[in-house]
Amino acid sequence: MHAIRTITWLTFREAWRRRMVLAALVLGLLFLLLFGIGFSLINSNMREHGTSALQLRFSYNLLMVAGLYVVHFLTVMLAIFASVDTIAGEIASHTIQAIVTKPVGRWQVVLGKWCGYAAMLMLYLALLSGGIVGTVYLLVGYLPPNPAAVLLLLLEALVLLSLSLLGGIYFSTLTNGVVLFMLYGVAFIGAWVEQIGALMQSHAAVNIGIITSLLMPVEALWRRAAYLMQPTVLNSMPSPFGGTSPPSQAMVLYAAGYAALALGLALLSFRQRDL
């Protein structure tokens, strides 16, 4: 366990020393500032025009979930960009050999790196999602239904992190990144196909969306989180913030198993990888 803790700490420090991660943090803080200013101005304008209390609550919820959608996208990008080079790059530069020749198991190297990046993503997501929800609460005293649903955004980051480490064992950095982005793109399009198919009562379109969610469950986790954090009336139309075909709790369990399986395969595959 000491070796895993050491690699976790070193990975965490390395990740935060990268300018890419620093840039993501700075831009995230800038986004929170702009969100707070924009939300305050919109709220003042609505109150000046005599918007009803019910409409105000719907507007608050819509703006907050829209902000969380940006957080979802930033977390997805950071999960990919921060970890895509961690195995593939070290294999290509042969720096990984300096680690695996020490009395440290290969599986400990992979698990330590996974824990380091997972801690970084958890803190990043806590800062941004907590900033969005906290800003809305401080300004207008509104909390969404099921605010704990933001934890699903952490699960989607862990899915991508596990896939990134697994792909890095077999692919180059560039190929690994392309594969991850393509899978995410397929899931994104499939989610819209499923929502529109549910609205048009097309079972074939819904099934296509389900298949893409099984292939890459990240977008399904976001739709589940957005669905739980919105009133029912706001989930009646297809949009990035809800949907007419919300993923079930079974999809959350599937995504957790998906991440665990990808991590397990990464641990096993790296032991057998010829370095």
- Cα–Cα distance for residue pair 186/18, rounded to 1 Å: 29
**HSE (CB half, 13 Å, CA atoms) of 59?**
17
Confirm if 225 and 150 have CB atoms less than 8 A apart: yes
The per-residue pLDDT string of the chain (275 residues; one tens digit each, 9 = 90 and over) reads: 677 888 888 777 777 777 777 788 888 899 999 999 999 999 999 888 888 888 888 889 889 999 999 999 999 998 998 888 888 777 777 676 666 666 677 788 888 899 989 988 999 999 999 999 999 999 999 998 888 999 999 999 999 999 999 998 888 888 999 999 999 999 989 888 888 887 788 888 888 888 998 999 999 999 899 888 888 766 666 566 666 677 889 999 999 999 999 999 999 988 877 66
- Cα–Cα distance for residue pair 93/14, rounded to 1 Å: 16
- Cα–Cα distance for residue pair 71/27, rounded to 1 Å: 11
User: Which CA distances in Å does 258 have to 18, 148, 156, 171, 213?
Assistant: 28, 21, 10, 20, 11
Confirm if 167 and 268 have CB atoms less than 8 A apart: no
Record the tokens describing residue 98, joined without a space: 């300096």
Confirm if 21 and 82 have CB atoms less than 8 A apart: yes
Q: Can you list the alpha helix ranges (DSSP code H) found in the chain?
A: 2-17, 19-48, 53-83, 88-93, 97-100, 106-140, 151-170, 173-199, 203-215, 218-228, 249-272
- Cα–Cα distance for residue pair 235/205, rounded to 1 Å: 19
Ramachandran quadrant class, 34 (left: phi over 0; alpha: psi -120 to 50; beta: rest): alpha
Record the tokens describing residue 272, joined without a space: 């057998």
Record the tokens describing residue 191, joined without a space: 């989610």
- pTM, full prediction: 0.89
* pLDDT score of 236: 65
Confirm if 187 and 218 have CB atoms less than 8 A apart: yes
CB atoms under 10 Å from CB of 167, counted, come to: 24
Closest CA to 106 of 118, 120, 91: 91
Residue 140: DSSP 8-state: H
User: Which CA distances in Å does 170 have to 98, 177, 195, 265?
Assistant: 19, 12, 34, 11
* pLDDT score of 195: 80
Give the domain ranges of the chain. 2-272
Closest CA to 149 of 53, 60, 34, 241: 241
Confirm if 80 and 181 have CB atoms less than 8 A apart: yes
- Cα–Cα distance for residue pair 87/216, rounded to 1 Å: 21
* pLDDT score of 129: 94
